Structure 1
Amino acid sequence: MTEVQFHFNVPDRLLYACRLLRKALRSGASGVAVSAPSATLSRLDRTLWTFDPQEFIPHLLVRENQPVPKRLQRTPIWLVERAEQGGHHPVLVHLGDEPAQGFESFSRLIEIVSTDPEERDAARARWRHYAGRGYELQRFDVGAS
């Protein structure tokens, strides 16, 4: 069963996602998919390119209905609109407002929640969605660390 984690009280979702993805790469993770609406993915793509001038975080922005070329399929981080586009990656980081459709095929789902009241309300609905389906949820208060 998929391990579901909520990371709450994040000051900036995109910067936090960048740090999380960098940490995953450094720890040797075999791959991470990030699902979000197209506009959020475009902003994350730009942020990943400028996040750390001393370090490159290899990633691929996967567009809807465009197959991933074979030479790029081993890219460790995929930015996708729908979770099922995440290919073979074991971890899904979700930045959308609605529950991640297709998250069940991942070993772990990480929901990133900012301090914005609207995002928190949407996160509460996602929490209820996953809990209502029997998933055990883990909560990490980023603001407390």
Structure 2
Amino acid sequence: MSAVEFRVGATDPLAYACGLLRTAAAKGATLVVRVAPASMADLDARLWTFSQLDFLPHCRDTDALATRTPIVLTAALGLTAFGGRDCLVNLAPAAMTGWEALPRVIEIVGISAEAKQAGRQRFRAYRQAGCEPTTLEITS
């Protein structure tokens, strides 16, 4: 079963995700990042400009290089095409299906009432699936 971790209290979930992805990519991890369609362009742009010293190789799931790129952005609800990745990072409000195929799942939860409510629903969904998620409070 996948290890599921909730990181809660992100004042800027996209900025937090950029830092997390930079760390994971530096360690050689391959990741799929699920993001709401309305935030896709913003996250894509931030990954290009996040750090002047680091290049975060990424593309969208529709790109021809998606299978060879360490960080793939998607708005898809299912993970069928991403089973070989090391980790799912979910920034979208709803849970993703097929998450069990990956060794690790990181759910990033913002501070708004809507983000907290969606996070609680995802937490319950993982529990109902037989997984016991851990929680990490973001302090920055």
* TM-score where L is the length of structure 1: 0.88
4+ residue runs over 3 A deviation: none
The SS at the match of 2:68 is: coil
Distance change >3 Å, CA 104–CA 3, structure 1 → 2 = same
The SS at the match of 1:73 is: helix
Structure 1: gaps of 5 or more residues: none
Structure 1 Cα separation of the partners of residues 118 and 56 of structure 2: 29
Residue 78, structure 1, aligned to residue 72, structure 2: yes
Say how many residue pairs are matched.
138
Structure 2 Cα separation of the partners of residues 42 and 61 of structure 1: 10
* TM-score where L is the length of structure 2: 0.91
Structure 1 Cα separation of the partners of residues 89 and 55 of structure 2: 19
Answer whether contact 1:80 1:86 (CA < 8 A) is retained: no
Answer whether contact 2:3 2:133 (CA < 8 A) is retained: yes
Structure 1 Cα separation of the partners of residues 55 and 83 of structure 2: 22
AA in 1 matched with 2:10: V
Map of 1:115 onto structure 2: 111
What percentage of aligned pairs have identical amino acids? 36
Answer whether contact 2:2 2:104 (CA < 8 A) is retained: yes
Q: Give the deviation of 1:72 after TM superposition.
A: 5.0
Structure 2 Cα separation of the partners of residues 81 and 102 of structure 1: 14
